[in-house]
Every structure is written in structure tokens, then in C-alpha cells.
């Protein structure tokens, strides 16, 4: 079988993947912008989602903390309305983080938000219903931790949470069955699920995780659901997206990402808006709008999505630093979304000055950081037939030569993080 461009098809990417899932991957690559939500029992301590490990909180004490979780101001419709205003196409929310507490109704453990807390509601069900209401518009993905600091069968332990009083024994196969049973619940009780975003495998990368059977289970239960593993390794068979944590594809400032970038599956960069995933009451290091637009644009320039995180408060409200930035990004996308949504990586890979994206014969030059009037691009592989500014449509002067294309730019404006030049290209 021949793949695109007549090249032999990569065995895993095209031969074995059913059409439904290939279509879901295309949808994902088109979506470009998602909202990540880290929310759980840990939110109450306002010190991020790793607080149980970091402060060596004993299992029994954390179990008590969980009995007090009562986010009475949680409003799924308001969260989804915010997501829509922000212009995200999907939400990825923590169904169970490393603390092992299930934020959904599950028959597999009483340690869940419906049975263990005075809240007695299933926020994931409410969120799924809100995503699917009014004709939908937002897909819902579930973050699911393979690492568990609470479950007695998470044994042998990995690299984390050695000091919280768990027993030094456990039945690993029983733990795997527990996870598969919970995934079955998530994929059968919440309507169509965009996919499962796995995290925590890096706690013990060489354990017998039985990924093949878990991935097969997911794809059998929902053939269009994507498997997105945050294991920081090269994609394996059955995995649909390569995701990079706190880094653009190929970069490794975080210290645990891989330099390998898949050319076969869609890409995604997950990013905190400040320096924390879960609610952190003293973390005021919020990224500027200019920085956030830069991430969204550069991610798109690599062909990747941006999965931008918020950490709601324990009462269910979302802090104004998060909502203000999401509203601004939504307003920005209202003007510049044509150069982001539905695009793929452009002909010039991301540079210090910015990035390029493309849709068919249209190339979008995103100028993020360039003070001079002239910007020289390398050859684009096609002639430029017209050039104009996306905002306002004013024509842009360009000069083509064998060495490339030079654009004459309008001066930078402090309030505009990205000057987007639209190039209409074609062979003649
Ligand atoms: O959910 C968020 C984080 O809680 C989770 N992933 C995002 C999306 C995450 N947890 N840890 N990390 C990300 C970073 C991993 C750090 C590690 Fe290590 C470095 C894992 C292995 C080496 C820290 C040091 C843990 C073990 C040793």
C-alpha cells in the first residue's frame, strides 16, 4: 500500500489504524487548541497536585482530607461556556491523578468523589453533559494517571511517594484490572469521549503495564477515542498522539521530554499558564498574553496543538488570572483563528522571529518578534501570488528571488503579539 506522496506507508500509522480513528486524528490535528484542567482533592491545599508526595502526607491523612472536598460552586455549564469563549476545541480533565482519588463515580473503589465526599455529585458526568449539550462543540478527553500513591496494589513502587505509609506489598495484576475496569466506566458512561490522556507511566517505565491490551480495550469500546500517552517516549503501536509536557515538540527545557518528533501522529504541547498544574495559591507567575499567543503560534508552526492548563479552586470556581487570559485568547482567535485552526506546519519551521502555518496553498507567516521593516524567508517551494495582512487585508509588498521571499512589514504594535501575513501561493 502506498501512503501520501507515494511513499511506502508506515506500518502502524496507516495500515492498521481504522478509518474512524484516522478521522479522529485529523480532527485532533485541526483542533489546535485545548483546555487542560487539573482539579482534585489536592486543590484544597493550594499547593499543586503533587502535594501528597511533596509533603509526604500519609494515606490516612489524605483520606481524611478527601472527606472534606465539597466544591459546591462547581458549574459545568460555566466551565464549558468559558472554554467556548476561549476558542478551545476540546477539554482534557483529570479523572484520577497520582493521588489516586477518582473524580468520577466508580464501582471499582469507594475512594471517589460521589461516595467519599459530601459533594455526592459526579463532576465529569456534568461536564460531559455540558460538552454534549446544544449540539456539542467541545470534545471531552479524560486524563488518567497510571501511577497511584493510594492504591494498595500499586506495588512494587516506582520513583515516587515512598513515605506515605502504604503497605510494602500488593497485587500488580489486580491493579491493572482495576485500571481497565475504571477505563471501561469512563468509556461507557460519559457518551463519546475524545480520548484518554495517560500520565505517570514514567514512575516505573519498565513495569509490565500490558499497554497493548489496555489500548485495545479503549479502541474496542470507542473506536474513535484517541490514546494520548504522556510517557515522554517515542509513540508505540496503538498510540494516537505524541504529547510534550511544558515544551514545544523537539525541545526539552523540562528535562524529561524526548527529542524525537513523530511525523506520523498528531502532536500536542501541554503547558501551565503559571508554573503549576493543580491550584497553587501562591503561584502568581502567570504568562503574559504575548507569551501565550507565542506558544499557540509556535506550536501550530510545528503542526502541534496547545493544551493550555488551568487549576480551578477547590470550591469549583476558576480564578480571574485564568479566565482573563482565556477570554483574551478567544478574542485574539476571533481575529487570527483562520491562521491557526485547521492548519498544518508551514514551509518554514519555527524561527526566533516567529512561525509559519499553512492550509492548502495558503501560507500564514506569523511574525512574533521582529523589529525591522524587512523579513527574509527562505524559498517556500512555490511562487507567491499575493500577500496581505490577515488583519485588515492591506496588501504586503514582497520580493521573490532564488534565495527566497522578502516581505515588507508594517511596524510592530505593542498591543498586537502577532502580525500575520497571508501568502497565497501556487505554481503560476
Ligand atoms: O499532571 C501534571 C503533572 O502532575 C504530571 N504531568 C503533568 C501533566 C507530572 N508529574 N511529574 N511530572 C509531570 C514531571 C516528571 C518528573 C520526573 Fe521524576 C522526573 C519523573 C521522573 C523524573 C520526579 C523526579 C519524579 C521522579 C523523579
Tell which one of 199, 228, 253 to mutate to probe ligand 1, the residue whose CB is within 8 A of the most ligand atoms. 199
Atom of ligand 1 nearest to the CA of 145: 1
Residues framing ligand 1 (Cβ under 6 A): 38, 49-50, 159-160, 199, 202, 245, 256, 270, 277
Rounded to whole angstroms, what are the CA distances from 191 to 130, 296, 307?
11, 29, 22
**The predicted structure's pLDDT at residue 16:** 86
Which residues lie below 8 Å from residue 71, measured CB to CB, with a gap of 6+? Answer: 119, 123, 314, 315, 316
Which pLDDT band, with edges at 50, 70 and 90, does 130 fall under? very high
pLDDT at 13: 47
Q: How far is ligand 1, taken at its centre, from the CA of residue 229, in Å?
A: 13
Task: Name the band, by pLDDT with cuts 50, 70 and 90, for residue 119.
Answer: very high
Report the sign of the C-alpha dihedral through residues 241, 247, 250, 253, in that order: negative
CA of 254 relative to ligand 1 center, distance in Å: 10
User: Quick check: 7 pLDDT over 50?
Assistant: no
pLDDT at 6: 39
| Global pTM value | 0.96
Residue nearest to atom 2 of ligand 1 (CA): 277
* Overall average pLDDT of the 161-166 stretch: 93
Look at residue 14 in the predicted model and tell me its pLDDT: 47
Q: What is the pLDDT of residues 332-351, one digit of tens each?
A: 999 999 999 999 999 999 99
Rounded to the nearest angstrom, the distance between the alpha carbon of 202 and the centre of ligand 1 is 8
**Tens of pLDDT along 258-313?**
999 999 999 999 999 999 999 999 999 999 999 999 999 999 999 999 999 999 99
Counts for the chain of helices (H) and strands (E), in that order? 10, 16
Q: Tens digits of per-residue pLDDT, 15-64?
A: 589 999 999 999 999 999 999 999 999 999 999 999 999 999 999 999 99
* Cα–Cα distance, 84 to 227 (Å, whole number): 24
Ligand 1 atom with least separation from CA of 36: 8
Question: Is the per-residue pLDDT at 9 higher than 80?
Answer: no
Alpha-helix runs per DSSP H in 88-140 = 113-116, 123-132
> In angstroms, rounded to a whole number, what is the distance separating the alpha carbons of residues 185 and 337?
36
Alpha-helical runs (H) found in 155-208: 172-188
Q: Return the pLDDT at 15.
A: 57
Amino acid at each position: 500500500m502506498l501512503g501520501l506522496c507515494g511513499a511506502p506507508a508506515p506500518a502502524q500509522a496507516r495500515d492498521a489504524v481504522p478509518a474512524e480513528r484516522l478521522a479522529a486524528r485529523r480532527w485532533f490535528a485541526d483542533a489546535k487548541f485545548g483546555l487542560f484542567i487539573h482539579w482534585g482533592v489536592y486543590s484544597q491545599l493550594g499547593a499543586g497536585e503533587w502535594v501528597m508526595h511533596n509533603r509526604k502526607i500519609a494515606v490516612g491523612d489524605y483520606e481524611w482530607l478527601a472527606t472534606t472536598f465539597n466544591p459546591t460552586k462547581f458549574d459545568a455549564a460555566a466551565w464549558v461556556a468559558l472554554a467556548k469563549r476561549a476558542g478551545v476545541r476540546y477539554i482534557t480533565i483529570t479523572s484520577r491523578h497520582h493521588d489516586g482519588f477518582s473524580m468520577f463515580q466508580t464501582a471499582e473503589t469507594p475512594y471517589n468523589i460521589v461516595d467519599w465526599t459530601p459533594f455526592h455529585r459526579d463532576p465529569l458526568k456534568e461536564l460531559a453533559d455540558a460538552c454534549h449539550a446544544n449540539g456539542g462543540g467541545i470534545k471531552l478527553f479524560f486524563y488518567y494517571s497510571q501511577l497511584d500513591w493510594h492504591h494498595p496494589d500499586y506495588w512494587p513502587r516506582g520513583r515516587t511517594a515512598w513515605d506515605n505509609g502504604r503497605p510494602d506489598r500488593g497485587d500488580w495484576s489486580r491493579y491493572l484490572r482495576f485500571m481497565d475496569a475504571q477505563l471501561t466506566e469512563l468509556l461507557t458512561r460519559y457518551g463519546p469521549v475524545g480520548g484518554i490522556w495517560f500520565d505517570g507511566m514514567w514512575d516505573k517505565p519498565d513495569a509490565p503495564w500490558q499497554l497493548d491490551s489496555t489500548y485495545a480495550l479503549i479502541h474496542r469500546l470507542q473506536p474513535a477515542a484517541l490514546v494520548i500517552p504522556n510517557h515522554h517516549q517515542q509513540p508505540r503501536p496503538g498510540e494516537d498522539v505524541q504529547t510534550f509536557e511544558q515544551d514545544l515538540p523537539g525541545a526539552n527545557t523540562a528535562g524529561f521530554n524526548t527529542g524525537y518528533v513523530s511525523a506520523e501522529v498528531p502532536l500536542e504541547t501541554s503547558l501551565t499558564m503559571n508554573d503549576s498544574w493543580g491550584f497553587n495559591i501562591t503561584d502568581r507567575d502567570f504568562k503574559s498574553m504575548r507569551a501565550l499567543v507565542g506558544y499557540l503560534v509556535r506550536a501550530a508552526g510545528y503542526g502541534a496543538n496547545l493544551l493550555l492548563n488551568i487549576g480551578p479552586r477547590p470550591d469549583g470556581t476558576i480564578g480571574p488570572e485564568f479566565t482573563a487570559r482565556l477570554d483574551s485568547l478567544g478574542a485574539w482567535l476571533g481575529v487570527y483563528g483562520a491562521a491557526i485552526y485547521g492548519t498544518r506546519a508551514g514551509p518554514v519551521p519555527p524561527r526566533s522571529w516567529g512561525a509559519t502555518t499553512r492550509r492548502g496553498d495558503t501560507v500564514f507567516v506569523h511574525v512574533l518578534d521582529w523589529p525591522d521593516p524587512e523579513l527574509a524567508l527562505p524559498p517556500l517551494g512555490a511562487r507567491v501570488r499575493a500577500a496581505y495582512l490577515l488583519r485588515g487585508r492591506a496588501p504586503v509588498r514582497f520580493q521573490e528571488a532564488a534565495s527566497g521571499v522578502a516581505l515588507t512589514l508594517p511596524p510592530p504594535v505593542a498591543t498586537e503579539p502577532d502580525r500575520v501575513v497571508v501568502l497565497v501561493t501556487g505554481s503560476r
